[in-house]
Chain A
Amino acid sequence: MSIYDKYEVIIGLEVHVQLLTASKLFAPDSAAFGAKPNENTSFITLGHPGTLPCLNEKAVEYAVKMGLALNCPIRAYNYFDRKNYFYPDLPKGYQISQDKKPICGAGFLEIEVGEETKKIRIHHIHMEEDAGKSLHDQSEKYSMIDLNRAGVPLLEIVTEPDMRSAEEASIFLNSIRQLIQYLEVSDGNMEEGSLRCDCNISVRLKGTEPFNNRAEIKNMNSVRFVRKAVEYEFKRQIDLLESGGEMKQETRGFDANRGVTLPQREKEMAHDYRYFPEPDLAPLHLSKAYLEEIRQAMPALPHELRQKFTKEYALSAYDAGILTETKEMAAYFETVVAHCPHAKMVANFMINTVKAYLNDQNISIQEAHIPPQKLAKLIDLVVNDKVNRQAAQKKLFPQFAKDPQQDPEKLAQTLGLVMEKDDNFVLEIIEKVLNQHPDKVKAYKSGKKNLFGMFMGQIMRASGGKIDPKAGKKLLEEKLKE
């Protein structure tokens, strides 16, 4: 047993979700990603004297949706505060955020860790505006400031320190990403920074109660980085403690190139944000009717669909998980099942064949433009023993996907894939194959029974996949007994 086995890691996350609004949180300039530097600003965003912020109603709606999905009570009366600090990419000298009365109170998210369900508690969710972007590596002398991002609406989801492994942290982040994509409140694109997180990490001896001081790893924009940072911190902190050192509360950055965390230069004096209520914004008073309206408009969430798929369609938890990865895939599956009520067969076909095709083409189910009714027809051919499953997967579907407007049955006929029901046709092929291998037939009859599979393979191939394997197998068995 190594010393590392004696410790456990404690992880809490602060997840920043960039909301998918058209305009900014308090100003009408575009919140879109990818514009030319400083293209999307306004005198409000720039913090000019005399300008006033005005709250984007969509951002509030999105915050409520997120809160409901994470089982949080929505604080009917809530308001904004100013968080005061100076930094060049923060034009006003304060960030408008929520401190005392955030919009969403304590909730939780259940995540699937292996076979188990684990509850990760949410401390609260609040709304705030994003800061601009500083580029430090473009010039020797200057930092360059782009304020397009300044004022873009964010939700900050703060968890309790409930995660106990890098694995759990990455499952949590992926579940959050899936949820925000279902709710359509953010695109969840980590590369573009729509989903970022700060990661609080500490270690303690297993079986002990109090938490040790933690390191806060700032601003990570990839699940892989979070995983690596946790693994690195786990070892670093244990090594430090075991060598008699003391863990101090500190802020660190993750160096993606080297896979290490490094201390960020600490200010000589501790932060003091001097929060106070934002006097330029009216408080929010969300009515029951307003909250109910949003609740009614919520889509079914991933865990609800997973449950439905395992209960109503008798799918395995694993299959249900794959088919609910995206809202679009889940909806597509349900439409196909509505036209071809053999849910298990549809699930298998979609997971093994359709998804493989989508991955291969690197497109989504919408981008494939396959009418679900047509796919249902194609799968029906297999259900009704008209085309054998292998032929449907390997030959019929790839041809069909090239032009998914065509009729699957006609295509199967054109490709000669419709199975022959006529026993004589099957027998003819069996005889042909057996005649080609008289020595193997002899060997089989004298006890080498494992040759059966070889015969079947040859027969299926010779028929061009037009034989129902079950019927073929039965006839072959009879023939070999003669």
Chain B
Amino acid sequence: MEINDKLIKKLAYLAKLEFDDEAKEAIKKDLEQMIGFVEKINELDTENVEPLIHMSEEVNRFRKDKVEKLIEVEDALKNAPLKNEEYILVPKVIRK
């Protein structure tokens, strides 16, 4: 897989990241290494091997449908950089 500028741009867009050209080159190198490693593993023939999706053998870890109030509104808003008494505020995300 070729790590080109187009791919970096797409990943940056999806991850909502911004960086300069110098960082971009470093990222490119890191990615080449990581993807190269995965491509190496991909050489293995896994045709008849079931994918291992969950690490634990555990299944059906259920919780009863019971309401518990864990935090108050003030706590919920505490870490928001912008807020009023009721809401978290964010820069306007749609244009009308």
Contact = CB atoms under 8 A, between A and B. Distances in A.
Contacts, number: 127
Contact of A23 (B67, B76, B90): B67
A38 B73 contact: yes
A348 interface: no
30 contacts: A23-B63, A23-B66, A23-B68, A27-B70, A28-B70, A29-B67, A29-B70, A38-B73, A39-B73, A42-B70, A42-B71, A43-B71, A44-B70, A54-B63, A55-B61, A55-B62, A57-B63, A58-B65, A59-B65, A79-B54, A88-B88, A142-B91, A144-B84, A144-B86, A145-B88, A146-B86, A269-B10, A274-B14, A279-B54, A282-B58
Interface of A is mostly: loop
Contacts of A55: 61-63
A282 B86 contact: no
Given A134-B93, A143-B94, A282-B56, A38 B88 contact: yes
Contacts of B91: 141-143
Interface in A1-48: 21-23, 27-30, 36-39, 41-44, 46
Interface in B1-38: 10, 13-14, 16
Contacts of B87: 37-38, 135, 144-146
Main secondary structure, interface of B, reads: loop
A283 B57 CA distance: 9
B60 interface: yes
A422 to B, nearest CB: 65
A57 B86 contact: no
- For chain A, give the interface size range: 35 or more
A28 B88 contact: no
Contacts of B58: 282
Contacts of A79: 53-54
A232 interface: no
A69 B13 CA distance: 42
A404 interface: no
Given A145-B88, A146-B87, A269-B13, A43 B66 contact: no
Contacts of A27: 70
